[in-house]
Amino acid sequence: MDQGLRELYQEVILDHSRHPRHFGALEDATHTGEGYNPLCGDRVKIYLALDAENRIRDIAFEGKGCAISQASASMMTDMLVGRTAKEAERLMGGFLHLVKGEDPNGLAEQDRERLEVMGGISEFPMRVKCATLAWHTMKSALEGGAAAKTE
């Protein structure tokens, strides 16, 4: 990755961290999940409002943590509004491959381009758990709200 692109990606991550999208409690949530990374102390709570067709009508998060965990949660919530639970899980699978330095096969080109910002995380294995905490928590919320923990 060239230096200019790396700097642009860092700016996007910092923007999402400093100005998170969909931050705060969601009063009409139908599903919630809480996640915690004991290695660094990151915490996140995901609120989902699913409609009758199992589509994410609204999503929000609360939490504290490093810039990467907060930016990842912000990006995730931004991308999931309007998607079905199945689409959300497919997007999560591609994201997990991406941050591990693997091919995120099966992702639509537009989704891949948006998530590529986090691709550099693969160079820092200890930060992968920070980037994936919100995604694992979202999945646990979809599955009934069991606590997600990344260790």
pLDDT in tens, 21-41: 999 999 999 999 999 999 889
Q: How many CA atoms lie within 13 A of 100 on its CB side?
A: 12
Does the structure show a pLDDT above 80 at 67?
yes
Q: ∠122-137-95 over CA atoms, to 5°?
A: 35
| The domain over range 3-149 is classified in CATH as 3.40.718.10 | no
- Alpha-carbon distance of 64 to 78, in angstroms, equals 18
Q: What is the DSSP letter of 23?
A: B
pTM reported for the whole predicted model: 0.90
Predicted confidence at residue 12, as pLDDT, reads: 86
Q: What is the pLDDT of residues 93-127, one digit of tens each?
A: 999 999 999 988 888 999 998 898 898 888 888 89
- Alpha-carbon distance of 101 to 31, in angstroms, equals 31
pLDDT interval class at 11 (50, 70, 90): confident
The answer to whether 1 and 120 are in contact (CB under 8 A) is yes
The answer to whether 117 and 1 are in contact (CB under 8 A) is no
Mean pLDDT of the chain: 90
